[in-house]
Copies of this chain bind each other. A is one copy, B any other.
Amino acid sequence: MPEFRAGGPAQVEYLQELVDAGLLVRTGVHGVYARGGSFERVRLHFDALVTRTAAPESPEPLLFPPLLPREQLERSGYLGSFPHLAGTVFAFEGDEQAAAEQLELASQHEDWSGFQTMSDVVLMPAACYPLYPAIAARGPLPEGGVTLDTGDSYVFRREPSDDPARLQIFHMREIVRIGDRDTVVEWREEWRERAVTLLESLGLTIDLDIASDPFFGRAGRLLASAQRGQELKWELVSPIAENPTAIASSNYHQDHFGHTFTLRTSEDEPAHTGCMAFGEERVTLALFNTHGLDIQGWPAAVRRQMEL
């Protein structure tokens, strides 16, 4: 069984409030909800605000669907760090007899997994992952590197929970910088300020934390410690249902993806990469949590800033 992360009483109650208000709709699976019209409107208006904020650097949009070639997941190191969060796609490859047997089992809600075969795609683990091999395929970077925009990409994390801020599938919007070390480090510091300013302009309380990813197992604790020690991950934290929650984060991967995907700078060095990521459903939840469930009652300055 995957680890079920029970939300505290405040989170469980807040989920119910969101459901009662029609902002989220339950599907029967923890961490998988439909978004009502008002929720989606806020999410899309926040997404548009990120577009306007990033516009001065003219990032190149590259919109990937939520499937990654399995071969890229195998290469990326993700299964070493986060095997518990990955999702793989299986499909049927049998004949009519097998289809009939599968159907019979499935109709009884019995185990039909034996009729499913691993495919060549997996669910997208992070919005920036598919960019690295795609950019590497173009050859060495142009001078000054590149800046990319994933748009509002769906990503998957296998961590069922009844905390509305912990979804199994959600939209991650990433601006990604690929270049030499100094370029990426400097860019990342600029975006740290820009992201805090952006989120504070929406009336959110933001704490900036040095953070680590939820690495798997005992070895993972060492990785997390090293990540913190080198300040490779910052999180922008804001309360959702009384719980301090990372609503955005910035990662510096050093030259990990440069080596993994043979991504070379114009000087033919392994490229460094960094990203600024916004968890759009979490930002939306933080806004509803801070300003109330009825958008009409939000502060005029926030509605103006979001063009709501």
Contact = CB atoms under 8 A, between A and B. Distances in A.
Interface in A25-67: 25-29, 32-37, 40, 60-67
A109 interface: yes
Nearest to A150: B34
A181 interface: no
B67 A29 contact: yes
Interface of A: 1-2, 25-29, 32-37, 40, 60-69, 71-74, 79-80, 83-84, 86-94, 96, 99, 102-103, 106-107, 109, 111-113, 116-121, 123, 130, 133-134, 137, 151, 154, 156, 158, 167-170, 216-219
Contact of A62 (B25, B92, B99, B113): B25
A116 B92 contact: no
Contact of A88 (B32, B69, B80, B116): B116
Q: Copy number of this protein in the oligomer?
A: 2
Given A83-B102, A92-B158, 9 more contacts: A2-B119, A27-B68, A28-B72, A29-B67, A29-B69, A34-B64, A90-B113, A99-B216, A113-B117
B66 A37 contact: no
A109 to B, nearest CB: 6
